[in-house]
């Protein structure tokens, strides 16, 4: 019986590249995004060409617990959960509205609770499962002008470590990966000058690719069973 991976934020970037890698390894897929129906349809077409795997897609706002509950019912049995969906806000904290703050926290952090609490029971019954939470180096050290994003990803890191301890007796691995600057839609709001300045700070002298990020997620999936509760940093030596 093939294993199924549920990936949020799967219409582009890290999520889409992870879907392609896992399809190549024979995973059935359940791909989720908030509103990019056309884009996630393209990902579905691409992964289905890669082998005899099943791929379902669904639009779901993971910041909405009601939508998440409906989505999990549709997903069925899931052996691998990759919480990748995320949004950012760049600006002064004092310029941020309460709604904007809530949107970042709900999407980046609360969504993990909404998904995990519904998927964990089936993993516990099987005594098997893997959860990978996509985080950021700003969750490790914080970033000026990105307080809400940093706070949400710091929460993701603590959520990951605590949940790993809770689920380790049931044979379920929970890990996170804190990415540095990756070439994704989220980072395309920077000007060329800003990106050049950031690149100068990175010892690897370049921005990482979404494919490399997906490869890192794959490595964590293939880690030994004893590997759990870890936040792996991948940032080109930056932070």
Residue 202 CB burial class (10 angstroms; 0-12, 13-18, ≥19): middle
Give φ, ψ of 153 to 5 degrees: -75, -30
Comparing CA positions, the residue from 65, 59, 51 lying closest to residue 20 is: 51
DSSP β-bridge partners for residue 157: none
Catalytic residue among 27, 89, 114, 149: 149
Instruction: Give the whole-angstrom CA distance, residue 226 versus residue 228.
Output: 6
- 50 Cβ contact list (under 8 Å, min separation 6): 20, 23, 24
The reply to whether 149 belongs to the active site is: yes
Catalytic residues: 149
């Amino acid at each position: 019986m093939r294993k199924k991976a549920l990936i949020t934020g799967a219409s582009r970037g890290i999520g889409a590249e992870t879907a392609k890698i896992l399809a190549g390894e024979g995973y059935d897929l359940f791909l989720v995004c908030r509103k990019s129906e056309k884009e996630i349809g393209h990902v579905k077409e691409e992964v289905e060409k890669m082998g005899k795997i099943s791929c379902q897609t669904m639009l779901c706002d993971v910041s909405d617990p009601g939508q998440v509950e409906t989505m999990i019912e549709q997903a069925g049995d899931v052996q691998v959960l990759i919480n990748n969906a995320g949004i950012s806000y760049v600006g002064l904290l004092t310029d941020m509205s309460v709604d904007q703050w809530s949107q970042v926290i709900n999407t980046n952090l609360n969504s993990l609770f909404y998904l995990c609490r519904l998927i964990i029971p089936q993993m516990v019954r099987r005594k098997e499962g893997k959860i990978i939470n996509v985080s950021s180096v700003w969750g490790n050290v914080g970033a000026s002008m990105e307080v809400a994003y940093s706070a949400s990803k710091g929460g993701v890191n603590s959520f990951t470590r605590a949940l790993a301890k809770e689920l380790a007796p049931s044979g379920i691995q929970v890990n996170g990966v804190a990415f540095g600057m990756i070439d994704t839609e989220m980072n395309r709001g920077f000007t060329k000058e800003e990106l050049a300045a950031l690149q100068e700070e990175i010892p690897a002298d370049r921005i990482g690719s979404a494919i490399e990020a997906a490869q890192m997620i794959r490595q964590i999936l293939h880690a030994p069973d004893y590997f759990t509760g870890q936040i792996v940093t991948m940032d080109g030596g930056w932070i």
